[in-house]
Amino acid sequence: MSAQDHNSLLQSTQVVIEQALQRLGYEQDMVDLLKEPLRMLTVRIPVRMDDGKVKMFTGFRAQHNDAVGPTKGGVRFHPEVSEEEVKALSIWMSLKCGIADLPYGGGKGGVICDPRRMSFNELERLSRGYVRAISQIVGPTKDIPAPDVMTNAQIMAWMVDEYSCIREFDSPGFITGKPIVLGGSQGRETATAQGVVMMIYEALKVKGIPLKDARVIVQGFGNAGSYLSKFMHEAGAKVVGISDVHGALYDPNGLDIPDLIDRRDSFGTVTNLFKNTISNEDLLIQPCDILVPAAIENQITEHNAHQIQAQIIVEAANGPTTIEATKIVTDRDILLVPDVLASGGGVIVSYFEWVQNNQGYYWSEEEVMQKLQKLMTRGFLKVYDVHRTKQVDMRLAAYMVGVRKMAEAARYRGWV
């Protein structure tokens, strides 16, 4: 994704934030406070590579707003990470936390690198270097990182170990998404996908569509996309399309999801094993009941929104639908469940992990899922109610619900 795309992502986020605050009756000073992160740290990380040479990496940590409580959000390792992207994602994390009513503001981090081209030891040295570089502004009562794109429980384990060397007395709750043996939560790995499934159930209820044999297309077959396909297949829905970076598979009679999951590689690619593939663009406009963009930004635009054949779009990815496309699909009576609502499962279960770390008592997976269901469903009903009563699209409704608590907290503190 180009720097220009990241800029437009930040700008479109700021546009909707402004609209949401205006609809809630706030003045421009609140817009000025909340349209940018309070803090943005850029760091340089020297890493000794396996060949003995030292390579410099650039990393970022954005803290959007801590009026409600500590900031919270993932760290991504990706060659196209940029300052603008990290800023936009930190704002989205604030909205996710607001919708779920968590005691957090949003944070986000990233390092410009390609983990696929790095050895295990090089990744460890980079992970530890990143923590050392940002250690002054993070911690369990300040800012709590978590996994994101191309980071995982192993990388979180290195990070928590490095942090515990710097600050021994408060280290367990410093980071979430840890391995279970280091204080991770049951259910964290599948939390985002489980949350999306819960939102699909709610959307189906609103539309009056039965789950059994409902036709689902999932764009993206990485962590969230593959789990999502598996859960929908097991629930009796018919997954008719999936895709990865190489292309897409579509079969109106349904795909053999367990077989595809068995055959996918560690980066979520499987379509390269097939000849009869179609493009990602073509997949989005195939007949289905539910379309789940679970890949990258700006997939549904004004150029293809008129051709979408789904009745429901549930955004598992960050920013897959542009502002223009949101208006088009809403006008066509397609129910759009926006990213800041649909993909909130990850941060909710990260919050549960932090709570468990703080109290030293751990819950079963069944308890975690019950609590997740309660918060996700409550969030959906709040957003859908604003959508219906205020006559605004679901994205603006989600932003209005998500930004309200933060704006109130900032006002009580006397910041504006």
For the residues of 329-372, what is the DSSP string, one character each?
A: HHHTT-EEE-HHHHTTHHHHHHHHHHHHHHHT----HHHHHHHH
Distances (CA, A) of 120 to 92, 127, 155, 188: 31, 11, 10, 23
Return all residues near 401 (Cβ < 8 A) that are at least 6 apart: 98, 99, 379, 382, 383, 386
- Which DSSP category does 184 fall into? P
Q: How far apart are CA 49 and CA 356, in angstroms?
A: 37
Q: How far apart are CA 91 and CA 44, in angstroms?
A: 23
| Residue 251 CB neighbours (<10 A) | 14
Please provide residue 55's backbone torsions phi and psi, each rounded to the nearest 5 degrees: -115, 140
Active site residues: 108
For the CA atoms of 42, 163, 139, 183, what is the dihedral angle to 10 degrees? 130
Q: Of 152, 155, 94, 93, nearest to 130 (Cα)? A: 155
CB 229 within 8 A of CB 242: yes
22-47 burial, b if ≥16 CB within 10 A, otherwise e?
A: ebbebeeebbebbbbbbbebebebeb
> Hunting for tokens 């801590």 — which residue is that?
66
Q: Of 181, 182, 54, nearest to 126 (Cα)? A: 54
Strand partners, 160: none
**Each residue's pLDDT tens digit in the chain (416 positions)?**
444 455 577 888 899 899 999 999 999 999 999 999 999 999 999 999 999 999 999 999 999 999 999 999 999 999 999 999 999 999 999 999 999 999 999 999 999 999 989 999 999 999 999 999 999 999 889 999 998 888 888 999 999 999 988 887 666 788 898 999 889 999 988 898 899 999 999 999 999 989 887 999 998 887 778 889 999 999 889 999 998 888 888 998 888 888 888 888 766 678 888 888 888 888 888 889 999 998 777 678 888 888 888 899 999 887 788 888 889 889 898 899 998 999 999 999 999 999 999 999 999 999 999 999 999 999 999 999 999 999 998 999 999 999 999 999 999 999 98
